[in-house]
A and B are shown apart, each in its own frame.
Chain A
Amino acid sequence: MSAKKEFNVKWGMAIDLDKCTGCGACMVACQAENNLAPVADASNKLRVMNWLVVFELSNNKEFPDHEVAYLPRPCQQCAEQPCATVCPVVATERNEEGGIVSQIYPRCIGCRYCMAACPYHARYFNWFDPVWPKGMEKALTPDVSVRPRGVVEKCTFCHHRYMMAKDKLRAQGKNIFVKGEKRGTKHSAIAEGDYVTSCAEACPNGAIVFGDLNNPAHRVYQLTHDNPNAFRLLERLGTDTAVYYISSREWVRRLGDNYLKDEITQKPEKILPKKH
């Protein structure tokens, strides 16, 4: 993998799986915001374009001990990106303050190496040109370009909203960054809540919290630091993702990674077998 780039600002999410009811409002909000075309038959999930998918989780127990939970899965915005390493044309990279993994469509040659590399299946290939029912293209947002067939797409943490929040600061004559509490650090001057993703904004349950994972003043920092209930998907792959999940339920946390039988999730390293 390429050398990990550290940034002062690391935009990230904390998704509370004890609050998500799986309603799908985040998925629809994502499509409308990012100009994803609707499809009449979305049964073939390998051909359907979705930047955000809500998965159903089960504790796999029989009735009446069964429990269910829902897991929204955007791009995990890895700091160590398996996708960027394999891209032959540098169409995806993480080189901007904020730590968002970009996807540059005009560069993408559609080889789909990144899809094969992504352990989260968060990348989608445009098998077909996007088609809207007649007239519906008038409701496209002006912020996200429409992608043709033949390129790979993924969630960008609504990067255009980040740019707009920065533009707003610039227009007000303000700096983009402010000094952090720790010496030598700096934080984004964007106030918490001034830049949120479309999914986080839409969620009526407040299950998705968005902010700067490096800023102690941000709620997302407080929810994810020193929280034994917070976890990341396939954390031990070392991808260092920016999407945290939170659940008080052990069985939910276990589904986040490939745990050994006698491991518990909260501090797995402490009980790993000696000859691991």
Chain B
Amino acid sequence: MVLDRRGFMKFVAGAGLGVMATPIPWKLLDDAAIWTQNWSWIPRNVKGETSYTYAVSKMCPSCVPMKVRMVGGRPVRVLPVDGHPLGGGVSSIAVAEVQMMFSPGRVKRPLYRAADGAFRELSWAEAVTLLQQKLQAAGSSTAFISGDENGSTNDVLSAFARALGAGDIFLMPSEAQCAARAAELMGIPAQLGYDLENSDYVLAIGANLLESWGPVIRNRRIFRDGRPVAGKKELPARLNIAYAGAVQNNTAAVARPWLPVYPGTEGILALGIANMLIAKGCSFDSPDFSEFKLLAAKYNPEVTAKETGVDLKKLEAVVKALMAAKAPLVIVGSEFSQGSGAAPVMAGFALNALLGNINKSGGVCLLPRAEAGIDGASARDEIFKNDLTAWIADRKTPQALVLHEANPAYALPGPQAVAAFLKAVPFKVSFSTYMDETAALCDLVLPIGMGLERIDDVNTPYGCGKTVYCISAVAADPRADVHNTANVILHVAKEMGKDLGFEYYEDLLKTKAVRYEKCDFAVLAAGQAAVSEARVEFSGFTARADVLAKALSPKTRGNKLGLAPYAKLNLGTAKTGIPPYNTKTLRGTELDGKDMYVMMNAKTARKKGLSDGDMVVLDSGKQQIRARLRVFEGVMMDTVAVCLGYGHTALDEFSQNKGANVMELMVAVPEPQTGLNVWSGTGVTVSKA
């Protein structure tokens, strides 16, 4: 057989056709497609059996209950827990809490500051010995700051403080502190609670109910259930929310209506509404009702409108709705969950008393105060009596400072002054999960587990309408060399001969669960909450018109614009910074590279000669920050709105170099008669940079 040209061509064509008839080319193409996308540096999924554990978020201020999906023992997702009194969804912080276990900003092992100023690693044994020596030397000149107002670690810290003879123990400022002080001044021996579950009309004055006030996820679940979906037939809402505040924030977006008011005038608005209610025949039983009535009368509708900027027609409609509601509720708070003082809460309580809803279904409830679980420890309300900003302003520098999950160098007004104060403290130790601004200033940084990695508890967060007690069990293996703050302190106390009665924190929680909440520890640790409907009997109160008259007097703004800070959970907290998975939630009108946006309406911008996109300087007289201007019509006149959560200098790449910290502009001033400092009425000038 001779292979001629024709034969060769036949062979090639036949071979070609033959190969094409086999799966070879298609398989090769398929493999090429797969393998060109299958690089070694692309992470692979790791399979495993799915299981679930339960925990309560200690990172999210709303204390979200979490169902944690584990795959082969690894936590991978946070899912919502239905049927839990604090649950109903997940917050934008808690939903990526698993991922935050691997955040680059974590403190992985104990660190101490060496002579050259740099951090060096040391073992836990060395760290505990060092801590013990320093605290022994400092003795009663030791101060404590805690950033977790709902956990029993405070019991351990306060019991240890008492054992040392130290009285300086503080919680970071919050709405709960303002409310606790308000209750104390009014002679109410209880924690103020709000029965949102059974209310049909809520007027939130300043309280950013659906984003940053109280247990937000629980608030939002109630809102979800209370508002019907718009359909062919208009169904009556079971819950209406009206919101008064300077910024059209997340709550205002769905409120009906939004009442724009100047920032820092929430208390005055409450008095103005009180005057309108009294004129309609409302009253309450209080020894100083006549004084209160006289004070409220000063805030007639015209004065109220002038001082707060509120639209009278809208306000009258809201008052009418409050009067018509079966279970009306007024909640007064701060748009950024701090710094508004006790007086606005007191005015709010008086409003609720006028509406006759104290200890009634859907009204304000008087909850038993959280008790301490260790003999000699201070209860939460006792610790709240100490004002941290006032103490720092007094500059009574302690010899040692113990911080637990607190970041005052970022989160307090005037962070630079706070940092200067901290630098003057000879020894400071931070128990922290992340290397935040405060930890970066400390002499000793001790890593603690995130909520998912440690056992801890949550005791009736401020805002709840019932007593709620939860145990957050260990859901995942720690991703760093961590110990629980309370365990370390219990050990150090014992070594110093000041046994606090418990060897481990878990023992305290077990005792506490049984002793105070009459519930089974194992059931709580499995994710169930202990709920109590118990209330403190309402036996009258004093409205403290004397305090309100001084604390809520109108303030002149002059040429300055009102500064309206507002909080958003997707920017994390002072402790966490911006969670890695949350940077994408920031819109282009909120952050552009390193520049954050501040907002004012077009009329205000025109008055100041500014336009959209301008780089501006906000000046409080003491400090300045730079930002870009966004013209947004959802801001009150003569007001500039600034979001909290930017301007971190520590933590990680997801938080650093993004905008400026609005707390730089805040000026804390004493609130007359209440013993608290306030910083919600700060004014600023805004000019083109």
Give A147 to B45 CA distance when docked, in angstroms. 11
B residues less than 8 Å from A140 (CB atoms)? 43, 45-46, 76
Q: How far is the CB of A218 from chain B (nearest CB, A)?
A: 14
Give A24 to B587 CA distance when docked, in angstroms. 10
Q: Which of A42, A143, A201: most chain B Cβ within 10 A? A: A42
Give A204 to B87 CA distance when docked, in angstroms. 8
Contact B90 A63 (CB under 8 A): no
Categorize the interface residue count of chain A.
35 or more
Q: How far is the CB of B533 from chain A (nearest CB, A)?
A: 24
Residue in A42, A151, A201 whose CB lies within 8 Å of B80: A201
Residue in A41, A58, A130, A229 whose CB lies within 8 Å of B633: A58
B474 within 8 A of A: no
> At the interface with chain A, which of B392-400, B497-505, B588-596, B614-622?
B588-596
Give A244 to B432 CA distance when docked, in angstroms. 45
Contact A138 B581 (CB under 8 A): no
> At the interface with chain A, which of B246-254, B289-297, B403-411, B518-526?
B246-254
> At the interface with chain A, which of B16-24, B223-231, B354-362?
B223-231
> At the interface with chain B, which of A64-72, A74-82, A111-119?
A64-72
Contact A24 B224 (CB under 8 A): no
Q: A42-B584, A132-B43, A206-B224 are in contact. List 14 more A-B contacts (CB 8 A).
A: A18-B254, A22-B253, A27-B92, A32-B95, A40-B654, A43-B592, A56-B589, A63-B636, A130-B43, A136-B103, A202-B95, A204-B80, A206-B221, A228-B232
Q: How far is the CB of A179 from chain B (nearest CB, A)?
A: 28
Smallest CB-CB separation from A31: which chain B residue?
A: B581
Given contacts A33-B77, A42-B584, are A145 and B45 in contact (CB under 8 A)? yes
Smallest CB-CB separation from B39: which chain A residue?
A: A148
A residues less than 8 Å from B47 (CB atoms)? 142
Give A41 to B92 CA distance when docked, in angstroms. 18
Smallest CB-CB separation from A203: which chain B residue?
A: B89
Contact B633 A129 (CB under 8 A): no
Q: Residues of A with Cβ closer than 8 Å to B?
A: 14, 16, 18-25, 27-29, 31-33, 35, 38-43, 45, 48, 50, 54, 56, 58, 61-64, 66-70, 105-107, 129-130, 132-148, 150-151, 201-207, 209, 223, 226-229, 246-248
B residues less than 8 Å from A150 (CB atoms)? 37
Contact A146 B43 (CB under 8 A): yes
Contact A28 B582 (CB under 8 A): yes
Given contacts A31-B96, A63-B635, A143-B45, are A202 and B601 in contact (CB under 8 A)? no
B489 within 8 A of A: no
Smallest CB-CB separation from B46: which chain A residue?
A: A142
Contact B99 A32 (CB under 8 A): yes
Give A35 to B90 CA distance when docked, in angstroms. 18
Q: How far is the CB of B313 from chain A (nearest CB, A)?
A: 11
B539 within 8 A of A: no
Residue in B69, B231, B585, B591 whose CB lies within 8 Å of A24: B585
Give A54 to B588 CA distance when docked, in angstroms. 12
Give A188 to B272 CA distance when docked, in angstroms. 57
CB contacts between A and B, total, < 8 Å: 232
Residue in A62, A135, A144 whose CB lies within 8 Å of B102: A135
Residue in A28, A42, A138, A142 whose CB lies within 8 Å of B95: A28
Q: List 7 A-B contacts (CB under 8 A).
A: A20-B254, A63-B601, A63-B634, A137-B43, A201-B80, A209-B229, A223-B229
Contact A28 B37 (CB under 8 A): no
A residues less than 8 Å from B115 (CB atoms)? none
Contact B584 A19 (CB under 8 A): no
* 1/0 contact string of B36-54 vs chain A (CB within 8 Å): 0111011111111000000
Q: How far is the CB of B75 from chain A (nearest CB, A)?
A: 7
Contact B253 A201 (CB under 8 A): no
- 8 shortest A-B CB distances, which residue pairs? A204-B89, A24-B585, A66-B633, A248-B230, A206-B224, A136-B102, A38-B580, A137-B43
Contact B37 A142 (CB under 8 A): no
Contact B601 A24 (CB under 8 A): no
A residues less than 8 Å from B636 (CB atoms)? 63
B window 613-669: CB within 8 A of A: 633-637, 652-654
B residues less than 8 Å from A25 (CB atoms)? 89-92, 95, 570
Give A56 to B590 CA distance when docked, in angstroms. 11
Residue in B48, B225, B568, B654 whose CB lies within 8 Å of A38: B654
Q: How far is the CB of A21 from chain B (nearest CB, A)?
A: 4
Residue in A23, A56, A130, A148 whose CB lies within 8 Å of B91: A23
Contact A136 B99 (CB under 8 A): yes
Smallest CB-CB separation from A54: which chain B residue?
A: B585
Residue in B99, B580, B593, B637 whose CB lies within 8 Å of A43: B593
Contact B102 A28 (CB under 8 A): no
B560 within 8 A of A: no
A residues less than 8 Å from B587 (CB atoms)? 56
Contact B601 A229 (CB under 8 A): no
A residues less than 8 Å from B479 (CB atoms)? 135
A residues less than 8 Å from B637 (CB atoms)? 63
Q: How far is the CB of B27 from chain A (nearest CB, A)?
A: 13
Contact A141 B633 (CB under 8 A): no
Residue in B98, B102, B220, B603 whose CB lies within 8 Å of A204: B220
Contact A32 B96 (CB under 8 A): yes
B window 566-592: CB within 8 A of A: 568-570, 579-589, 591-592
Contact B103 A133 (CB under 8 A): yes
B residues less than 8 Å from A69 (CB atoms)? 253
Smallest CB-CB separation from A198: which chain B residue?
A: B77
